[in-house]
């Protein structure tokens, strides 16, 4: 998709005009983080980074953006500056696909404050959405275990969000998408079955299946619930599967899209097996999510492929990830945002986040936030409850924020969606099961180093009325 630098909120530009007029423009550090895990879960999957970096590398205002801003009261000399606008900042970030947790920096932007503000809206828009959907996808993957997952959501997505949802779904563990454009652009496997309309357009269901199988013998999946699944759709599909065998082809599957999917999939499996069609797979769809799939597995439903649409690409029931972008340093000086709600007090300074690994390389369940300049963190304390602390000497500590962009250019080679998905899977495998359960998951610990906590407390005291 084509983004220009006007893909931002107006207030970023009105603030930027003032920064420009009152030169010199200062150097800012902003933190990206979210406050709550989506879906009341125990973790999130960080997604959208590669898209953000790719857009930032070439971000510009178009000439029509400039004339729009001219008509809306922006000063001539500021518009001259915007004509040459480029993002020339540096970004430190967690790796895309990593397992991340609330209230710790996931990404840090260092740039002149005009550039840092103008990119804020796009960065939040992309990271919040893709992280939400990748997390949903990962939960669905957790329920589906090793079965195949197909994203069918584009038609129900929030407009063009469907494009990024398909990418994020692949990062979170989906195997394939019905979304042709996303599959083409991101090199994701594309697949699909057939719609009810195809069968309805024929007088006869059997003829519809025959034609489909003749013209699409490879990866042929027949939708069997248009009239009556067990009495019509499935017997017709079995007839066509046998005809395909005589042509040297194999029916890939049948799709169930209504009714009791556990009951129907068991009956379907039996009828297919009785017809010596053990290789024909069962695809199920219809308002699936992680809970329905978990229940279907528990009921022993022999479903091989789950097609998931609405609940995946809209991140249902969570409308958005609450990711924010907060100023933590300006011209080398720490900055803080206070709040009545202690959880919302921001953390000053440029920082590093360390993940604690146990002797087996598994995540222990704690990330420590420290000043960037600190090197060895021996203890972390809870951000607000001073009675809670953890000694860190026994852990291997992994620094999570790595430089991914310098002076506006990416510092790491492009990673494909498949590579990011594989990385995500390997990271999730290091997270103990108790953080992955859907109900009351274990709470992952986030702590502050002594020095950072001291700096924060000093600034809180300084700004308190």
Ligand X SMILES: Nc1ncnc2c1ncn2[C@@H]1O[C@H](COP(=O)(O)OP(=O)(O)OP(=O)(O)O)[C@@H](O)[C@H]1O
Contact of residue 261 among ligand X, ligand PRP, ligand NIO, none (CB under 5-8 Å per partner type):
ligand X
**Which of 422, 420, 313, 402 is CA-nearest to residue 51?**
420
Q: Could you tell me the end-to-end alpha-carbon distance of the chain, in angstroms, rounded to an integer?
A: 47
Tell me which H or E stretch contains 458: helix 450-463
Q: Which one of 64, 247, 287, 396 is in contact with ligand PRP (CB under 6 A)?
A: 287
Contact 143, 303 (CB under 8 A): no
Q: Spell out, one character per residue from 228 to 257, where the chain touches ligand PRP: x when CB under 6 A holds, - when not.
A: -----------------------------x
Using CB under 6 A, which residues numbered 239 to 278 contact ligand X? 258-262
Site size for ligand X, by CB under 6 A? 12
Q: Which residue stretch of 20-28, 33-41, 109-117, 152-160 sits at the interface with ligand PRP (rule: CB under 6 A)?
A: 152-160
Q: Which one of 193, 236, 311, 449 is in contact with ligand NIO (CB under 6 A)?
A: 193
Taking 3-state DSSP, the helix, strand and coil percentages for the chain, each rounded to the nearest 5, stand at: 40, 20, 40
Residue 178 near ligand NIO by CB under 6 A: yes
Contact 164, 126 (CB under 8 A): yes
Could you tell me the two tokens for 464?
């308190």
Residue 201 near ligand PRP by CB under 6 A: no
Could you tell me the two tokens for 316?
């249902």
Closest CB to ligand X among 198 and 263? 263
How far apart are CB 222 and ligand NIO at their closest, in Å?
11
Q: Which residue stretch of 138-146, 151-159, 227-235, 435-443 sits at the interface with ligand PRP (rule: CB under 6 A)?
A: 151-159
How far apart are CB 239 and ligand NIO at their closest, in Å?
21
Contact 105, 127 (CB under 8 A): no
Q: Spell out, one character per residue from 296 to 335, where the chain touches ligand NIO: x when CB under 6 A holds, - when not.
A: -----------x-x--------------------------
Could you tell me the two tokens for 361?
């390389």
**Which of 264, 265, 267, 273 is CA-nearest to residue 241?**
273
Contact 251, 273 (CB under 8 A): no
Contact 328, 30 (CB under 8 A): yes
Where do contacts with ligand PRP occur on this chain (CB under 6 A)? 152, 155-156, 195-197, 257, 285-288, 307-311
Where do contacts with ligand X occur on this chain (CB under 6 A)? 258-262, 286-288, 292, 295-296, 299
């Amino acid at each position: 998709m084509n983004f220009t630098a006007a893909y931002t909120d107006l207030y970023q530009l009105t603030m930027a005009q003032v920064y420009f007029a009152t030169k010199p423009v200062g150097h800012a550090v902003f933190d990206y983080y979210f406050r709550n895990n989506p879906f009341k879960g125990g973790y999130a999957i960080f997604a959208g980074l590669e898209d953000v970096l790719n857009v930032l590398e070439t971000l510009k205002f178009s000439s029509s953006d400039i004339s729009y801003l001219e008509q809306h009261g922006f000063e001539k000399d500021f518009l001259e500056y915007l004509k040459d606008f480029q993002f020339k900042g540096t970004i430190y970030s967690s790796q895309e696909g990593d397992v991340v947790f609330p209230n710790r920096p996931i990404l840090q932007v260092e740039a002149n404050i005009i550039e840092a503000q103008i990119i804020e809206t796009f960065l939040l828009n992309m990271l919040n959405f893709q992280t939400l959907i990748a997390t949903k996808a990962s939960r669905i993957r957790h329920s589906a275990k090793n079965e195949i997952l197909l994203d069918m959501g584009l038609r129900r997505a929030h407009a063009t969000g469907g494009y990024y949802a398909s990418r994020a779904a692949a990062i979170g563990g989906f195997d394939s998408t019905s979304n042709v454009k996303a599959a083409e652009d991101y090199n994701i496997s594309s697949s699909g079955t057939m719609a009810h309309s195809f069968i309805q357009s024929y007088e006869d269901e059997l003829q519809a299946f025959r034609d489909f199988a003749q013209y699409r013998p490879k990866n042929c999946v027949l939708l069997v619930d248009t009239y009556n699944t067990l009495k019509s759709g499935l017997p017709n599909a079995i007839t066509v599967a046998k005809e395909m065998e005589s042509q040297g082809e194999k029916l890939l599957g049948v799709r169930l899209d209504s009714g009791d999917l556990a009951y129907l999939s068991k009956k379907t499996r039996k009828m297919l097996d009785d017809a010596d069609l053990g290789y024909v797979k069962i695809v199920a769809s219809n308002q699936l999510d992680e809970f329905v799939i978990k229940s279907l597995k528990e009921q022993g439903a022999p479903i091989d492929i789950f097609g998931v649409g609405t609940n995946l690409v809209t991140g249902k029931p969570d409308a958005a990830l609450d990711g924010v972008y907060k100023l933590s340093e300006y011209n080398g000086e720490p900055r803080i945002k206070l709040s009545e709600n202690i959880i919302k007090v921001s953390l000053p300074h440029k920082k590093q986040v360390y993940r604690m690994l146990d002797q087996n390389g598994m995540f222990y369940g704690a990330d420590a936030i420290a000043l960037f300049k600190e090197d060895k963190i021996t203890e972390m304390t809870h951000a607000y409850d001073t009675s809670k602390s953890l000694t860190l000497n026994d852990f291997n500590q992994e620094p999570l924020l790595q430089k991914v962009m310098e002076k506006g250019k990416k510092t790491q080679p492009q990673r494909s969606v498949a590579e990011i998905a594989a990385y995500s899977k390997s990271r999730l495998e290091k997270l103990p099961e108790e953080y992955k359960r859907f109900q009351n998951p274990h709470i992952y610990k986030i702590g502050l180093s002594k020095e950072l906590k001291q700096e924060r407390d000093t600034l809180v005291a300084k700004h308190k009325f």
